[in-house]
Structure 1
Amino acid sequence: MGEESQNGDGKVVLKRKITLFNGVGIIIGTIIGSGIFISPTGVFLNTKSVAASLLIWLFSGLLSTLGALCYAELGTSITRSGGDYAYIYTAFGPLPAFLRLWIALLIIRPTTQAIVALTFGQYVAKIFFPECEPPQNAIRLLAAVCLCILTAINCISVRWTMRIQDVFTSSKLLALVIIIISGIYYICAGNTENFDRPFEGEYSAGNIALAFYSGLFAFGGWNYLNFVTEELQDPYKNLPRAIWIAMPMVTTIYVMANLAYFAVVSRNEMMSLAPVAKIFGDHLFGGWSWLIPVFVALSTFGGVNGVLFTSARLFATGAQEGHMPAFFSLFHVDKQTPIPSLIFTCFFSLVMLTTSNVFDLINYFSQILWLSVGASVVGMLWLRRAKPDLPRPIKVNIVIPLLFLIAIGCLVIIPAITNPKDTAIGLAILLSGIPVYYLCVKWDTKPDSYNKLSTGVLRFLQKLCSCIYVESLEKLSA
């Protein structure tokens, strides 16, 4: 029996199958992926201070919560799936929205998926290479296997995807609870030497911003439920509820986990670039230390699943608006999964696996990511003025988006001054979307050969993947 439904016009639309529990699972499951197991090193490398690192983790959680509250207003006033893309489209029109989609396609989503998958590969490989560094090619191969398996599952069933998300979310929470309890016990036993001179470190505006990039990367995913609001049951109530449940949980868990890490792992070990959770396990669990890489692998597996699920819906929404090739809007006739979009997303993520330095990847894409998030929140404030009658079941205090935008301004501007090369590359990729937009989207009188090729590819994928068009419940409007 198919999972699609029909609206009053007889068009095929998405059925709301994601519950509040699923929504909390998507947020927690996507946030707690690879970040908490690799970002502590990235934060500490840029501060060299235990206390400053813990404060950055706390402020990263608070900043992410402010952003999530802004997105609760956006997600309940613009209930279309697509997240940032849908909000920028509604506020500023098609060209800025296309540019957001363009950088998501080329940078943000493939890089995010590659980072989490590489972390999965690194910890799985550590199980087989406990005494030495695992080969980089083995890490890449394991990451590729993870991406391909989860893409296949996402293609087969939405329900199976949600079950994986729920189960692996529970697994990763269990892993972090074990780390936190073990760390607190270690501290209570009097082992506090790692907290001597906690504020001793190296501070500069550029390094603090990069430290926040690592911390905020670990919180990445707080806005991912907004990408699937059309499939969320009762989004007006469940979207903000999911945020209020998930964000305090994650912030508390992250700060406590880092406290446990710093109690057990020395400064020199933290700077060695070795997997911090693996070092933690080796110190405390002896012969059972292999359990930590297993739990981390389970955690990152669920993280990749959540990113894949929401990425495919983002590109499908763009295709429904004519901003992506039409085949992205194809969903399987029975399974109601966006198979072409999932395959394409997986392919670009596999391309990103050519590098295995996750910290370079984090710094590379973070600036562009936060620029797009800031544009969405500016759009929210603009819509309050331009469309005051737009239904707003949730309306946050004006202080919240202003504080959030000030923080984002620092995150974008400071690295642009201290590391102009990466900024220039990111902006070049962003601006390269302008001619693509006018050639492939805006140009109405395309040659017949182009139209025939596009139609041929579309029909081929329809037959190959047994797909049909799925109409959105509502269209975007500028």
Structure 2
Amino acid sequence: MEDELGGGRRGSRIVLKRKVTLINGVALIVGSIIGSGVFVSPGGVLFFAGSPAAALLVWTICGVFCIVGALCFSELGTMLPAAGGEYAYILRAFGGLPAFLTLWVNVVVIRPATQAVVSLTFAEYALALTFPNVDPPKMAVTLLAAMALCVLTFINCVSVRLTMRIQTVFTAAKLLALVIIIVAGALHLGRGHTENLDRGWEGEHNIGGLALALYSGLFAYGGWNYLNLVTEELKDPYRNLPRAIWIGLPMVTVVYVLVNVAYLAVLSPQEVLTSNAVAVAFGSEVLGPLKYTIPVFVALSTFGSLNGILFTSGRLFLAGAREGHLPPLLSFIHLRARTPVPALLVTCVLSLFMLGANIIFLINCLSFVLWLSIGAAIGALLWLRKKEPNLKRPIKVHMALPLIFFGCCVYLVVVPMITEPISTGMGVLMTLSGIPVYLACVMWKLKPRWINNMHREITHLLQKVLLVVSPEQSTHESLLEEEDEN
């Protein structure tokens, strides 16, 4: 039964409601993937690929690779349809410690750092029109980034439906910006300006450079697996999860390739390599007075991307709390809005602290951990195929797909350990730092009574302030408790 506020019930329990439609799912995939990368710095792919044609090939390979990974995740998402993504899959297959370490690096660094980077990028481009010829003041950028984080967190807390509407609208806006770039590039080519593409294979190519180009390209495709974090809220997930993947990821791949063709049609390879904002340079060449719309579109793009990342981050925190790997309060759901308010507030606060940190270094250190966790999730798929063959699998991909994808993940994890041992070593240390936390907070069951009492009192206080209840608590019980407390 569904109430007027959009909440849902299973039996008498308060649960997350299935409000995410197919269109919302496609918008979540496309909106989370397309952030600032395709507008700002595709030069990294070109630099490591060695030539324009090789760069376009890399963009295509990355898209196909992510489609294969997403199809594998569709089997996992429909087989284990709870929120949590790879954390939930690793937990089922390999147990508590590996799952906790995956959760640890995501909760403490990766998610907050990513959200902080995207919010700062939004702020810089939103202020670009106010400060057209100089960099905007750092304080103004930080304040606007913090405001964006707080506003979107508030919206995520009060309404899933409003959050999904924002995601859909901003995804449409960023796709419009990319279509403008593609059309402008096609018109430029139609006038006979093909000189840059005619020399498409000119340059130096090597295997090591190709590997690094793949890293840059895959970073731009980051977010392809985010829909699995909200499978629990997806309407008809057995049908809509694979449909959203087949619609969203090929769309992103085609758009990415065509946008880079447009860039290379208008700008020389050297201009692409030296520009920190390729889309702005492109607009200055061919869009005339409309060139000032590019910073606006980049701001809209990053705002929508931040919304999608916040939405999925809250669900990851909630999933960890439900398994006892994070404080139970983070699994609590708002009594009326049916949103994970405590989890959303925590991810927002951590992101605010990250605004002043050296975030790029942190992300570089832990980029290989991302692929380690994704590879472990695919390993979980293969392991569960063997150990639990009778587990219900509404979607079952051909065995060749997870095997190929797992091999590629191993490659993406091993190569950085050889080429960048310092940053990789930092990432390993940050991951292993979660072991003592796991022993103290999860494995240590017989804690002193005063610790348990203090934790209980703080939880009850925050429940009253935030109007949240445990998913295990019945609606009737929670309403009675609220009346008694008042």
Provide the TM-score with structure 1 as the length reference: 0.94
1:357 Cα deviation (Å)?
7.2
**Residue of structure 2 in register with 1:312 after alignment:** 314
Contact 1:28 1:250 in 2 (8 A): yes
Amino acid of the structure 2 residue aligned with 1:232: L
Q: 3, 6, 10: which one pairs with 1:7? A: 10
**Residue of structure 2 in register with 1:238 after alignment:** 240
Distance 1:376 1:56 in 2: 24
Contact 2:333 2:469 in 1 (8 A): yes
1:420 Cα deviation (Å)?
0.4
Q: CA 1:357/1:91 → structure 2, altered by over 3 Å: closer, same or farther? A: closer
CA offsets, 1:62-99, max 9 Å, x none?
Answer: 11001000001101111111100111011111111111
**Residue of structure 1 in register with 2:414 after alignment:** 413
Secondary structure of residue in 2 paired with 1:293:
helix
**Residue of structure 1 in register with 2:476 after alignment:** none
CA offsets, 1:220-246, max 9 Å, x none?
Answer: 111111111111111111111111111
Contact 2:31 2:305 in 1 (8 A): yes
Distance 1:273 1:409 in 2: 32
1:449 Cα deviation (Å)?
2.4
Contact 2:46 2:55 in 1 (8 A): yes
Distance 2:467 2:189 in 1: 57
Amino acid of the structure 2 residue aligned with 1:51: A
**Residue of structure 1 in register with 2:453 after alignment:** 452
**Residue of structure 2 in register with 1:189 after alignment:** 191
Contact 2:49 2:58 in 1 (8 A): no
Which stretch shifts more, 405-414 or 159-168? Answer: 405-414
Distance 2:363 2:41 in 1: 9
Task: Give the CA RMSD over aligned residues.
Answer: 1.9
1:438 Cα deviation (Å)?
1.2
**Residue of structure 2 in register with 1:475 after alignment:** none
Which stretch shifts more, 97-106 or 33-42? Answer: 33-42
Contact 1:2 1:333 in 2 (8 A): no
1:250 aligns with 2:252: yes
Distance 1:63 1:384 in 2: 22
Which stretch shifts more, 187-196 or 364-373? Answer: 187-196
Amino acid of the structure 1 residue aligned with 2:448: P
Please give the residue correspondences for 1:7-406 in structure 2 after superposition, counting only pairs within 5 Å: 7-8=10-11, 10-355=12-357, 358=360, 360=361, 362-406=363-407
1:32 Cα deviation (Å)?
1.4
Q: How many residues align?
A: 470
Distance 1:253 1:18 in 2: 24
Provide the TM-score with structure 2 as the length reference: 0.92
1:430 Cα deviation (Å)?
0.9
Amino acid of the structure 1 residue aligned with 2:386: R
Secondary structure of residue in 1 paired with 2:125:
helix
Distance 2:468 2:245 in 1: 33
**Residue of structure 2 in register with 1:466 after alignment:** 467
Distance 2:472 2:22 in 1: 24
Amino acid of the structure 2 residue aligned with 1:107: V
CA offsets, 1:416-441, max 9 Å, x none?
Answer: 10100111111111111111111101
Distance 1:137 1:211 in 2: 34
**Residue of structure 1 in register with 2:483 after alignment:** none
Q: CA 1:357/1:229 → structure 2, altered by over 3 Å: closer, same or farther? A: closer
Q: CA 1:460/1:135 → structure 2, altered by over 3 Å: closer, same or farther? A: same
1:353 Cα deviation (Å)?
2.3
Amino acid of the structure 1 residue aligned with 2:375: G
Gaps of 5+ in 2: 474-486
Q: Percent identity?
A: 53
1:362 Cα deviation (Å)?
4.9
**Residue of structure 1 in register with 2:478 after alignment:** none
CA offsets, 1:121-153, max 9 Å, x none?
Answer: 232122222223444444333322221211111
Q: CA 1:125/1:328 → structure 2, altered by over 3 Å: closer, same or farther? A: same
Gaps of 5+ in 1: 473-478
Distance 1:269 1:126 in 2: 21
1:205 Cα deviation (Å)?
4.7
Amino acid of the structure 2 residue aligned with 1:178: I
Amino acid of the structure 2 residue aligned with 1:7: R
